[in-house]
Amino acid sequence: MKSASAKSSSPPTGVLGAGSLRILGVDTALRTTGFGIVDACGNTFSPVDCGVVKTTRSQPLSECLRRLAGGMRELAKTYAPDVVAIEGAFYCKNVRTSMVLGSARGAVIATLAEMGIPIYEYAPRRVKQSVCGFGNASKQQVALLVSQILKVAVGNLPDDATDALALAICHAQALATSGGLSVPDPL
């Protein structure tokens, strides 16, 4: 994907069609956190960049969280997103897994909030419904629709990156629906 070098000179208003809005989508996890950056202007979505922030199993939790926070800080400084769309917490039977995922989400949310970037949370089913029209869509279906919407090849992208792009698209579409009435309150 190509990287946009300049941001729109008009300030974002939070409603599509009134100017360009840069959205950072984040699919959090401890080992592989996906990110996707999309510029939205009206009904036009342009991919800016996407990828993953990775940590290794050999690193302690505190180092993973530090690296995750640092990666988010660097993305925010490099791309200057107007808003962030993050995947909401979901039910998990394993308490330890829930705690680790909550820690990763907390590191991302705290870092981006510290930078003054508004953060919006979307349930995984809502993202899938927004992008695919079906709340139980598979990761492959999400990737296919993201590919079509953004006109990019996603075959070599990690699922976490395409999920993050889907989060950004979901937020842009929520802004466009009923003048933004379907946008959740910021975290």
B/e letters for 15-34, b = 16+ CB within 10 Å, e = fewer, are ebeebbbbbbbbbbbbbebb
Known catalytic residues?
A: 27, 87, 160
**Cα–Cα distance between 180 and 128 in angstroms, integer?**
19
* Residues whose CB falls within 8 Å of the CB of residue 18, separated by 6 or more in sequence, listed in order: 12
Measured CA to CA, the distance from residue 3 to residue 21 in angstroms comes to 15
Helix (H, G, I), strand (E, B) or coil at 24: strand
Question: In a 3-state reduction of DSSP, which class is residue 50?
Answer: strand
